[in-house]
Every structure is written in C-alpha cells, then in structure tokens.
C-alpha cells in the first residue's frame, strides 16, 4: 500500500516534469519562430519590387506597372529619396493588410554584378551600439542609420499612427533593401518602442555576426527571410563554419524557395527552415551561383526597371509635395504638414556605430 502510493506519487511528479518541459518548449518556439504566411509573402514581394521604380511620379501616385497587382489600393504616405547615397524607401498604408508597409530599395549606383562581387569582402567592422559582441557591416548599417531615410520614415510612421491608430508594421525589401529593412525593424522596436513590427525580406545578404543575429531574433521574432534557389546574395558575405566568432551569421527564419519536377510539371517548394538562421538543409545546401535567381522572387521581377542606374524621373507638378535638403535629398509627402526633413528625431542617436578593427 505504502509502496503503491509512493509509485503513484513518483508517476505524478514525473508527468509533471514531462508536461512542463513540453509546455516550456512550445512557448519557446512560439516566441522565436514566426509562422510563415505564403499569402503575405506574395503581397510583400510586390512592394519590394515596386520600390525600385525610377519614375517617382508613378510610384508616388501608385500607378506604376508594378503597383497594380496584389498591392492595389495602397495609400502612399511618404516617399523618401536619398539622392546622395542612391537610396529609396516609402511608407504607406495597406488597408487590406490593416498595416503600415515600409519598403526599401538598396543602392543602384553600380551594376548588380559589381555590387555582388563587393559583398565577398565586406568586413564585420562595426559594433552594434549597446550590445556587446554584436557586430555588423558598417555600410549596411549606415545606409539606414546615417541617411535621410531613417528620420523620413519615422516621421511618416508617426503621422500614420496619429491618423489611423495602432496598425501592424510590416517592413520589407529585396537585396540590400532587405538589409536596410532589417535594421529598420530593429530600430522601430528598440528605439521607438513600437510593437507589432514584422520584417520580411527577399534575397538579403548577411548583415551581422552570430551575437547580432541572436539579439535580432529576440527583438524582432516575427521575421522571415525568403531566399530563392541558387540566389548568390543570401550566401554573402561568406559564412565561415570554422570561425564562429569571426563569421557573418544569418538570423532566422529562412524560407527557401526551390523548384522540383520537369518541364511543365515544375512546381515551387517553400521550405520553412529551422531556428538557427543557418539551416544547412535550406539555401546553404546548394551553391549560391545565380544572379537571375536573385532577380525574380515568386516570379516577380526585382531590381531596377531601367538600365540606367540611379536615374530619377519626376513630374515637376509633384514639386509641391516635395521638400529638399541641401544635399538634394528629398521627401515627397501626402500630408503637407509633415513635409520637412527633420534630422533630429528625438531618440537615442545611433548614427555612429563604433568602428572596430576586429
Ligand atoms: C496570411 O496573411 C493574409 C494577408 O495578410 C491574411 O489575410 C491571412 O489571414 C493570413 N493567414 C494566416 C493563417 O495568418
Ligand atoms: C555619416 O554620414 C556623414 C555624411 O555622409 C559622413 O560624413 C559620416 O562619416 C557618416 N558617419 C558614419 C559613422 O558613417
């Protein structure tokens, strides 16, 4: 009798441990790993494609050729053009998503081939402010933090929130635009205390080391990094397996697109990868040797619509909506009240990352 009671007791204690361990595990993965939503990816890839449009009139009025698919009805709030660094971003409201969408275009100063070959040599040369051991690439970091994009975006997000209240914030971009979208998602959460921030990028390069990546995934857990087949860019700057302290490291969660089948029976698999950021069974299982896989995601054309890079076309009538700074950078804003480039956003100033020789 005594013995049986003891056994029952032991069984109860044992199952308590098993159950609580299981529960804890579940909470963890829920916290760290976002669910991948295919429908949302198909929509956001179109925003990431549209931000490349060089005809600013068409882009601002959302009448461009890349503006009328799944993104129809998008309400543009602000278009920011950093002429100095050849960067572009917009902020607006997607009513169907009940969200603010922020999209980034990376630099197009040189050909995409040159840009990609430069990626091999990018150093982890900047300490991410406030996080010990977290290192990033200075160029990617400052393209977001040390240009007109950041204050322009913050002003626009603030005015949207005043108008609409709290909406989900979705930050997106392709290639280098994806790198900037990542820094923006982190910035909105950490330095502006915004909630409901999610990030989805397409074909983005690595931007920091393992310490940075694990910090990133804690702060912006709702992040999806879509990669495509043999796209070169997600393989760069290189990941050196044997130098864990020195190497770049992606953050989770990757979703790798690849095709299987033959001829007319080809279909696309969307593989949702593990929580490591460097799942060896995803894009890392193939060699990154394709530029064309970089330039089409879900069949949507990414990259510039024009061979002449960094060209700007604008109808002079739109000048009324736009404000310039001394360097020629400008913001086009639907809300006139807000059309001033404010460089002093009242927050922790992060423009200067700490250079490191490491
Ligand atoms: C996926 O995203 C779409 C578009 O935002 C949304 O309508 C749908 O409810 C989402 N699905 C799930 C399962 O969350
Ligand atoms: C920030 O930008 C200014 C102007 O382009 C430049 O002089 C400065 O060196 C940059 N700072 C950093 C840390 O990149």
HSE (side-chain half, CA atoms, 13 Å) at 67: 22
H/E stretch holding 202: strand 197-202
- CB contact at 8 A, 107 and 86: yes
DSSP assignment, residue 205?
A: P
Q: Is the Cβ atom of 352 under 6 angstroms away from ligand 2?
A: yes
User: Among 103-112, 124-133, 160-169, whose mean pLDDT is lowest?
Assistant: 103-112
Query: Relative to the alpha carbon of 95, which ligand is closest?
Result: 1
Query: Relative to the alpha carbon of 97, which ligand is closest?
Result: 1
Phi/psi of residue 87, nearest 5 degrees: -125, 160
- 253: cis peptide before it, omega within 30°? yes
How many angstroms separate the alpha carbon of residue 143 from the centre of ligand 2? 10
Pair type for strands 126-127 and 197-202: unpaired
* Tokens, residue 226: 């879509």
Q: Is the Cβ atom of 142 under 6 angstroms away from ligand 2?
A: yes
The pLDDT of residue 29:
38
The pLDDT of residue 307:
61
- CB contact at 8 A, 148 and 80: yes
pLDDT tens, residue by residue, 222-266: 999 999 999 999 999 999 888 877 899 999 999 999 999 888 888
Q: Is the Cβ atom of 123 under 6 angstroms away from ligand 2?
A: no
How many angstroms separate the alpha carbon of residue 178 from the centre of ligand 1? 21
**Shortest-distance atom of ligand 2 to CA 142:** 14
In the block, residue with structure tokens 């290192």:
135
HSE (side-chain half, CA atoms, 13 Å) at 99: 20
Question: Is 189 or 307 the better-scoring residue by pLDDT?
Answer: 189
Q: Which 3 state secondary structure label does DSSP give 246? A: coil
Query: Relative to the alpha carbon of 355, which ligand is closest?
Result: 2
How many angstroms separate the alpha carbon of residue 37 from the centre of ligand 1? 6
Task: Please state whether 34 falls in left (phi above 0), alpha (psi between -120 and 50) or beta.
Answer: beta
The pLDDT of residue 346:
37
Name the residue with the closest Cα to ligand 1, atom 4. 40
User: Which amino acids bring their CB within 6 angstroms of ligand 1?
Assistant: 37, 39-40, 97
Instruction: Write the secondary structure of 64-129 as one string of H (helix), E (strand) and C (coil).
Output: CHHHCCCCCCCEEEEEEEECCCCEEEEEEEEHHHCEEEEEEECCCCCCHHHHHHHHCCCCCCEECC
HSE (side-chain half, CA atoms, 13 Å) at 176: 28
The pLDDT of residue 324:
81
The pLDDT of residue 5:
55
The CA R_g of the chain, rounded to the nearest whole Å, is: 22
- CB contact at 8 A, 345 and 151: yes
**Shortest-distance atom of ligand 1 to CA 38:** 1
Question: How many contiguous H segments (helices) and E segments (strands) does the chain have?
Answer: 8, 15
| First CA to last CA distance, the chain | 68
Question: Is 307 or 312 the better-scoring residue by pLDDT?
Answer: 312
The H-assigned helical ranges of 166-324 are 176-190, 210-219
């Amino acid at each position: 009798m005594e013995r049986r009671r003891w056994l029952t007791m032991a069984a109860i204690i044992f199952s308590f441990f098993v159950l609580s361990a299981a529960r804890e595990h579940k909470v963890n993965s829920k916290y760290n790993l976002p669910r991948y939503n295919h429908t949302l990816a198909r929509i956001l890839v179109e925003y990431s494609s549209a931000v490349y449009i060089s005809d600013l009139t068409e882009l601002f009025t959302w009448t461009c050729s890349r503006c009328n698919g799944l993104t129809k009805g998008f309400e543009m709030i602000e278009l920011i053009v950093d002429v100095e660094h050849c960067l572009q971003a917009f902020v607006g409201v997607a009513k169907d998503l009940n969200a603010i969408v922020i999209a980034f275009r990376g630099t197009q100063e040189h050909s995409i081939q040159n840009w990609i070959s430069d990626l091999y040599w990018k150093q982890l040369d900047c300490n991410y402010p406030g996080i010990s051991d977290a290192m990033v690439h200075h160029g990617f970091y400052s393209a977001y933090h040390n240009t007109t994009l950041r204050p322009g975006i913050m002003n626009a997000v603030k005015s949207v929130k005043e108008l609409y209240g709290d909406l989900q914030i979705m930050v997106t971009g392709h290639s280098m635009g994806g790198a900037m979208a990542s820094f923006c998602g982190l910035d909105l959460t950490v330095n502006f205390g915004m909630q409901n921030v999610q990030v989805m990028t397409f074909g983005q390069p690595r931007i920091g080391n393992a310490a940075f990546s694990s910090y990133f995934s804690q702060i912006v857990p709702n992040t999806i990094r879509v990669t495509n087949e043999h796209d070169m860019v997600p393989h760069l700057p290189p990941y050196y397996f044997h130098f864990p302290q020195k190497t770049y490291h992606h953050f989770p969660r990757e979703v790798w697109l690849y095709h299987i089948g033959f001829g007319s029976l080809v279909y696309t698999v969307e593989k949702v990868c593990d929580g490591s950021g460097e799942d060896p069974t995803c894009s890392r299982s193939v060699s990154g040797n394709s530029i064309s896989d970089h330039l089409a995601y879900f069949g949507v054309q990414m990259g510039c619509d024009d061979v002449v890079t960094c060209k700007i076309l604008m109808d002079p009538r739109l000048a009324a909506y736009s404000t310039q700074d001394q360097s020629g950078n400008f913001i086009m804003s639907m809300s006139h009240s807000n059309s001033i480039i404010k460089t002093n956003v009242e927050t922790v100033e992060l423009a200067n990352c700490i250079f490191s020789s490491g």
